[in-house]
Structure 1
Amino acid sequence: MKKLFLLLFLLAISITSFAQELPFNKVKLSDSIALANQMKQLATACDQKKLSAFDLFKFQLISGKYKDAVATIEQSIKDTPREESIYLDMYQAYLKAIISSNFIDTFKLLYRKHLMNSDDFEVLNIDDTLISRDATDYFIADFNNSYKNIETDTISMERAQSLVKKYFFKTVYAATRNLFFEEIKHDHKRRYHINDSILIQTNDGAEVSVVLIQRKGTTSIKKSAILIASIYAGTNETGAMLSASKGYIGVIMNTRGKRLSSGDVKPFEYENTDVYEVIDWISKQPWSNQKVGMYGGSYNGFTQWASMKHKVHPALKTIVPMVAIAPGIDYPMENNVLHNYSYSWNFYVSNNKFLDNEVSNDYNRWENLKNIWYNSGVAFNKLDSIDGTENKLWNVYMQHPSYDDFWKKMIPYQQEFAKINIPILTITGYYDDSQRGAMYYYNQHHKYIKNPNHYLLVGPYDHWTSQTKPVEYLRNYKLDKAALINIRYDLVYQWFDYILKGKEKPSILKDKVNFQVMGTNRWMHKPSINAMTNDTLQFHLSAHKIKDFYTLTPKPNASKIEMTVDFKDRKNMTNTEYYPWPLEKESINLKDGLVFKSEPLKNDAIINGSFLGNLEFTINKKDVDYSVILYQLTPEGNYFHLSYYIGRASFAKDREHRNLLIPNQKIQIAFDNSKLISKKLEKGSSIVIVVNINKNNNAQINYGTGRDVNLETIKDAEIPLKIILTGKSSISLPVWDDLKS
């Protein structure tokens, strides 16, 4: 105790002497006792007066002030809505267990009581938060890496606080993960009948694994079934349980080769027949009332559309595809540009009968692979050679760079949409990575059938929150309160109740197209996508420069704006900021690409929809991958990322057939497949547009030879790319003017 007091006294002196620098001597991460003592000293030395109550508890716990920590967390739980205190409830159980004589038994008992006092939906929310989004491995790696990266014998107060918080997460979750996993799963068995051993034989002799979930006490009643068809074996149980608790029967179907099914896993290839057959099986069960609905996001959204490829099963009454990916359209390529994030996903879903989380979370492996490929300049189809592991699915993708029959066979194509006549609710987000897939289905359905019973809901959500419940902030942007709807628990089942039980239509669906206007705290409701806009802001590119910016003008002009990209140069990358993260920032890289700025807007405007582009240029290559990023430069001087487009010029007219450019001959390339957005642009804002060539470690590099881009290498980069844009090039923003309504 005297030694600890002396050390703390010396730490206090050091804070004054070193201007908030604390002495830091590394210990071995494997020495848990020495590490705990060091973190205790840091937590005690940190200034805790300025911490929020939520952070204060962490420091009190790590510094051993358990009595104070108990009081702090109990008050925090009282001040926090029950549905938002999931983490706090678990932390409280951990704290009480750590000061008991038997940590494991005490924690399990306390957490079991907490679960038993929670209703179905609270427990499912706990599962979604603590199990489905389990971050324990990340917390452990995050602390360990942060600790290893300290190379000085002093650290700042800010860094010390960060390290203590990371140590808190690592310590608490490592100690409790297996315990709360066990208790939550035990609680599910108390509430539900779960049959996870069903195998269905398909017409072509394969097997499909199915899970059936019913709420105990209701199994004698015939009900509608809600089906989730997924490749993510073992992760959709809470979705089926939610259906069971909402008065339905929950059914999960997994892709061939997953869970109990024999054979190889082949994503996307058989859902167009297998899902239909599972729906047929459901309709013939004694517990079925011959009504089936489907919902789910991402891959689980794709499977809903795939089920209707050949025909719509009579028992399928509605689907709710959320952030639905469209193979060949937005995955694994976007506008025919193949990204490499799908490379690791293939291993994640196909390495075993469930999911290979270990390989998926091996961030160092994937980051190193990207960097080695980029720096070496080898062909894109050599990724698995660099990785040292054969990637069969990836090699299949390499053979299909256009939207050919391989992709077309997976989902409805053209006239096949005309037979889809059931009610549909499509949900996506402005910052959903699969938005263009979701909108592809929506637009094609409207193209081939007149006035379908198809609703769209879209808001300021990303790929995850479009499927669940948005939180207050999205990538550092504070959402309007109107946007904070519970999509999964409320809206989806309000829709099912409307279609399957004859109840009222969800109140938010006031028209066929429903979208939240960022910055206004309101939703707008229109009968169609076209009705979202009643005006257009059109800008032309100009070579006239004011400081760091080229200008945007309202009329065509005689400008020529030149850009050169040296693909041999691997010290630098281009187009590294096209992805919207964060949404709002103080500055952008003004030297990356061609940056254009408009005059300040004279009036407020609402941008509604997908911006359009028509670029006129000459280029010394036969092809090019290009991007256009759209920003709002706010009156306060911040850059808000509104939308972007990335695509391959040779596929601009037709994603199915490649039309190479003629070098040094003027051409016009039009695009309209940018990310849809709705946001108020305040008076005094400027529009900033960045036109760029794609050269980075996240996607293929198109060297412009006209050969298969997957085969091109840095040897094809002897001559730098040179592009000259003319002043006839335009960008058009679809806007809504309330004064014209």
Structure 2
Amino acid sequence: MKKIVFALFFTIQFASIGQELLFKKVALTDSIALAKQMKQLASACDQQKLSAFDLFKFQLISGKYKDANATIELSINNTPQEESIYLDVYQQYLKATISSNFTETFKQLYKKYLMNSDDFHVLNLDDTLISRDATDYFIADFNDSYKNIETDTISMETAQNLVKKYFFKTVYAATRDLFFEEIKQDHKRRYYINDSILIPTKDGAEVSVLVIQRKGTISTKNSAILMASIYAGTNEAGAMLSASKGYVGVIMNTRGKRLSSGEVKPFEYENTDVYEVIDWISKQPWSNQKVGMYGGSYNGFTQWASMKHKVHPALKTIVPMVAIAPGIDYPMENNVLHNYSYSWNFYVTNNKYLDYKAAQDFNRWNTLKNNWYTSGVAFNKLDSLDGQVNKLWNAYMQHPSYDDFWKKMIPYKEEFAKINIPILTITGYYDDSQRGAMYYYNQHHKYVKNPNHYLLVGPYDHWTAQTQPEAYLRNYKLDKAALINIRYDLVYQWFDYILKGKEKPSILKDKVNFQVMGTNTWMHKPSLAAMTNDTVQFYLSAHKTKDFYALESKPNSSKVEMTIDFKDRENMNNTEYYPWPLEKENINLKDCLLFKSNPLKEDVIINGSFLGNLEFAINKKDVDYSVILYQLTPEGKYFHLSYYIGRASFAKNREHRNLLTPNHITQVSFNNSKLISKKLEKGSRIVIVVNVNKNNNAQINYGTGKDVNVESIKDAKTPLKIIFTGNSIISLPVWNTAK
């Protein structure tokens, strides 16, 4: 009788009222009631216009297993293997669901699936399902969405979204531990893994090292590919990839991480420790005394750090991808300190591996930055608001300029002169660490004449520039030519070229190689300077049409004024400088100075970093400003090309602060905006947004001339007034095909 009443309750519960569905929440802890509720909801939803993949979700949740199996079979048959990783999990989940023993069935199915896959597909599974595991997010996303429903009815759209979120939560919560374990066991079947190595350093510390060899190759001497990383426990798949490519994969973790004792101090000891690990590798019986290095972000930094004092004879090449440069692009950007590094410090130092719980506590970090912004306390009080001491953050507070604290970490000036090995630098137009990558590249070229140093850059972000781009980047569809497999193909083609004497990667036709967005082609030039053969210049003008001031081709007598009240915490400025999404219908017209050009009379390709020389007067001693560059397409969409953000007092020299004279005309130049290559079609307009930085993502420069980290809202008595003159110029480096 209870079952009949329960079923009747759910039938009535989801009776539709027009486009609304009746909805009564159950306890999230009652998995049986929740499953029955979602089953009824999936059945009640309109499924007529769903994609095949979404249809499968509804069929599965509603219990229509036969239909679901037919749908997923068709989807898998029409999808390349490397793109069907998730579909394979869903199919195996379905088969296990209708079996008598879910756990054992899924394990056996997944084990067989792995046994029938080659090394590279299994490593791709590791990268996709383990390194980018989103199970906790899926669970939280559904739970939060469910809790936030406060009405007795929900729309059809809300119902559909809830079913989709429940699908992801249910599938991954049930399978994650199972496929994690099966992939781990499959690795042991393929590779010899020595994960208990501790190497003593000359100063009495120790570092943890892991060596991976493909079974069947242990008796031969091979070159080693080293990854030096603070991200303990996350690079094993990379070392296995090296082993499957015919090398010995080696991982070294920052001292204090993994098995090594002592305190974790990011950036501080890599300049000696990595060199000593290379020396250890060169003396192993399996080593042929040739070592290459690769890796991205922090793992890119470690490659440059290893050559701070000298280049080890066994180090034959490095491939730094999206390499961060401490003090240059992390934790500050042109001396403007961002707060994203605050949580990263806990992520990498809280334990011997990584503190995912702390890193993913988005409520904590969002609350912290919002509380800081609204309260107006000094930036160096951030951990006081957080209630937990952040040692690294407090260290950063003491070094706002590029001083010895930062210089000791990586090669500095003439120290680049001794670096004489082949290098392949990889970065992306939308890589958060592009400035770091390009800093190393430019400094190497400054101190070494014509170094054997190649650059590859394309429409990639911080992740895809060290792995493989997908079809879309931040809502923009990439050209097919840009869709190269960087990690699996290009990197090892380079290693084979340098370490095994094979052909150079075909895409590296010259020293500088870059994908021109919108053309489906790559360009290849001998240097950064050769990327351009013309310049398009724009001067700021006070002539205004609706919301936009004009961009003119000549200097003019205009004056354009902007006022920023730092006491106002109801509003923010410069919230759109970060390029996400890349293309959108509208931009914020209210919090900045907007300038728009006349339509371009012909197609042009913007190649490189745009430059600026702003002439202005302010009533303060300093200002943090930004310049955003957009293409306004002939169709009326805004495409985010590039941006610059920096502190005026450090414009001439990042090592020494030169305060401005209040109410005195000054010129502030910049030349290290984000590098870009894109075709701008005839009829496009250039839109330039000039702004002052005031938001919850970075410190606020109140302009008193004191250390910005100690300034607070108490220093915001007088609003900042900035007046730009018509001598302010923005220069776009272009490639003119007509020349």
With the shorter chain as reference, the TM-score category is over 0.9
8 Å contact kept, 1:325–1:434: yes
Deviations 1:519-568 (A, max 9, x none): 00000000000000111110001111011111101111111100000000
Residue 130 of structure 1 corresponds to which residue in structure 2? Answer: 129
The CA deviation at 1:11 is 7.1
Match of 2:362 in 1: 363
Distance 2:500 2:239 in 1: 18
| 1:253 equivalenced with 2:252 (yes/no) | yes
Give the equivalent residue in structure 2 for 1:347. 346
Matches within 5 A, 1:193-232: 193-232=192-231
Q: For the Cα contact (< 8 Å) 1:535–1:734, is it kept in 2? A: yes
Equivalent residue number for residue 169 of structure 1: 168
Which residue number corresponds to residue 470 of structure 1?
A: 469
Does the Cα contact within 8 Å between 1:429 and 1:458 map onto a contact in 2?
yes
2:593 corresponds to: 594
Structure 1, residues 386-415: CA drift from partner, whole Å, max 9, x if none? 000000011000000000000000000001
Q: Which residue of 1 aligns with 2:673?
A: 674
CA contact (8 A) 1:618 1:666 kept: yes
Q: Contact (CA 8 Å) 1:446, 1:452: kept in 2 or not?
A: yes
Query: What is the Cα deviation at residue 28 of structure 1?
Result: 1.6
What does the per-residue CA deviation read over 1:291-348, in whole Å, with 9 as the maximum and x for residues that have no partner?
Answer: 0000000000000000000000000000000000000000000000000000000000
C-alpha contact 2:584 2:639 (8 A) present in aligned 1 = yes
Which residue does 1:523 correspond to in 2?
Answer: 522
**Which deviations, in whole Å up to 9, do the C-alpha atoms of 1:650-679 show, x marking residues without a partner?**
000000000000000000000011000000
Aligned to 2:314: 315
Opposite residue 412 of structure 2, the aligned amino acid is Y
What is residue 398 of structure 1 aligned with on the other side?
A: 397
**How far apart in 2 are the matches of 1:66 and 1:37?**
15
Retained in 1: the 8 A contact 2:72–2:91? yes
Give the TM-score normalised by structure 2: 0.99
Paired amino acid for 1:609: G
1: distance between equivalents of 2:517 and 2:332? 28
**Contact 2:107 2:178 (C-alpha < 8 Å) held by counterparts:** yes
Secondary structure in 1 matching 2:39: helix
| Equivalent AA in structure 2 for residue 292 of structure 1 | V
SS in 1 for 2:111: helix
Deviation at 1:163, TM superposition (A): 1.1
Shift of 1:8: 7.6
Distance 2:572 2:120 in 1: 47
Per the TM alignment, residue 49 of structure 1 is displaced from its structure 2 partner at its CA by: 2.1
With over 3 angstroms needed to count, the CA separation of the structure-2 counterparts of 1:136 and 1:12, relative to structure 1, is closer
What's the CA shift string for 1:143-184, capped at 9, x where partnerless?
111111222222221121111111111111111111111000
Q: Distance in 1 between matches of 2:667 and 2:73?
A: 64
Any residues of structure 2 matched to 1:246-395 within 5 Å, and which?
A: 246-395=245-394
Which residues in structure 2 correspond to 1:572-651 (within 5 Å)? Answer: 572-651=571-650
Q: Does 1:51 align with 2:50?
A: yes
Aligned to 2:72: 73
Query: 1:466 is paired with a residue of what secondary structure?
Result: helix
Question: 3-state DSSP class of the match of 1:200?
Answer: strand
2:738 is paired with a residue whose SS is helix
Q: Is the CA contact 2:631–2:640 (under 8 Å) kept in the aligned structure 1? A: yes
Matched residue SS, 2:34: helix
SS at match of 1:731: strand
Residue type of the alignment partner of 1:168: F
CA distance in 2, matches of 1:97, 1:3: 30
Whether the aligned pair in 2 keeps the contact of 1:192 and 1:214 (CA below 8 Å) is: yes
Q: Structure 1 counterpart of 2:708, which letter?
A: V
The one-letter code matched in structure 2 to 1:356 is D
Q: Is the 8 A contact 1:22 1:157 kept in 2?
A: yes
CA–CA distance in 1 between the matches of 2:69 and 2:6?
A: 23
Give ranges in structure 2 of 5+ residues lacking alignment: none
Q: Separation in 1 of the partners of 2:151 and 2:200?
A: 63
SS in structure 2 at match of 1:57: helix
Question: Partner of 2:674: helix, strand, or coil?
Answer: coil
> What residue is the counterpart of 2:661 in the other structure?
662
1:112 and 2:115 equivalent?
no
The answer to whether the Cα contact below 8 Å between 2:15 and 2:21 also exists between their aligned partners in 1 is no
Give, in whole Å, the separation in 2 of the partners of 1:4 and 1:424: 68
Q: One-letter code of the match for 1:184? A: I
Alignment match, 1:182:
181
Taking structure 1 as the reference length, the TM-score comes to 0.98
| Partner Cα distance (2:380, 2:350) in 1 | 20
Distance 2:149 2:676 in 1: 42
What is the identity, as a one-letter code, of the residue corresponding to 2:334? N
Q: CA deviation at 1:7?
A: 6.5
Contact 1:283 1:291 in 2 (8 A): yes
**Over residues 89-144 of structure 1, what are the superposed CA-to-partner deviations in whole Å (9 max), with x where a residue is unaligned?**
11111111111111111110000000010000000000000000010111111111
Alignment map for 1:549-564 (pairs within 5 Å):
549-564=548-563
Amino acid at match of 1:270: Y
Q: Is the 8 A contact 1:11 1:45 kept in 2?
A: no
Is the partner of 1:400 in helix, strand or coil? coil
Structure 1 residues 419, 38: CA separation in 2 closer, same or farther (over 3 Å shift)?
same
| Residue aligning to 1:459 | 458
Equivalent residues of 2:15, 2:22 under 8 A apart: no
SS at match of 1:510: coil
Q: Which moved more, 1:479-488 or 1:70-79?
A: 70-79
- Residue identity (%): 84
In structure 1, the residue matched to 2:429 is 430
One-letter amino acid matched to 1:566? D
Aligned partners of 1:8 and 1:45 also within 8 Å: no
Q: Post-superposition shift, 1:3? A: 6.3
CA contact (8 A) 2:42 2:58 kept: yes
Code of the aligned partner of 2:717: E
Query: Could you tell me which amino acid in structure 2 is paired with residue 476 of structure 1?
Result: N
C-alpha change, 1:539 and 1:4, in structure 2 (3 Å) is: farther
Partner residue in 2 for 1:565: 564
User: 1:3 & 1:521 partners in 2: Cα distance?
Assistant: 62
Q: What CA distance in whole angstroms lies between the structure 1 residues aligned with 2:313 and 2:12?
A: 77
Deviations 1:476-526 (A, max 9, x none): 000000000000000000000000000000000000000000000000000
1:416 corresponds to which letter in structure 2? E
Give SS of 1:280's match.
helix
- What value does the CA root-mean-square deviation take over the aligned residues? 1.1
1:2 to partner: Cα distance: 6.7
Q: Match of 1:188, SS? A: helix
Residue 515 of structure 2 contacts residue 521 of structure 2 at CA under 8 Å; is this kept in 1? yes
Contact 1:475 1:582 in 2 (8 A): yes
Q: Name the amino acid aligned to 1:188.
A: H
* Cα distance in 2 for residues equivalent to 1:543 and 1:11: 62
Shift in Å at residue 729 of structure 1? 0.5
- Tell me the secondary structure at the aligned position of residue 738 of structure 1: coil
User: Contact conserved, 2:14 with 2:22, CA < 8 A, in 1?
Assistant: no
User: Tell me, which stretches of 5 or more residues in structure 1 are unaligned?
Assistant: none
Q: Hey, what's the Cα distance between the residues in 2 that align with 1:76 and 1:528?
A: 46
Question: Which residues of 2 match residues 499-514 of structure 1 at below 5 A?
Answer: 499-514=498-513
Secondary structure of 1:574's counterpart equals coil
The 5-angstrom pairing of residues 132-147 of structure 1 reads 132-147=131-146
| 1:713-724 matched pairs, under 5 angstroms | 713-724=712-723
Task: Measure the CA separation in 2 of the matches of 1:12 and 1:702.
Answer: 55
Tell me, what secondary structure is at the counterpart of 2:411? coil
Deviation at 1:21, TM superposition (A): 1.7
SS of equivalent to 2:466: coil
Contact between 2:10 and 2:37, CA under 8 Å: does it hold in 1?
no
Residue matched to 1:421: 420
Cα distance between partner residues in 2 of 1:296 and 1:9:
55
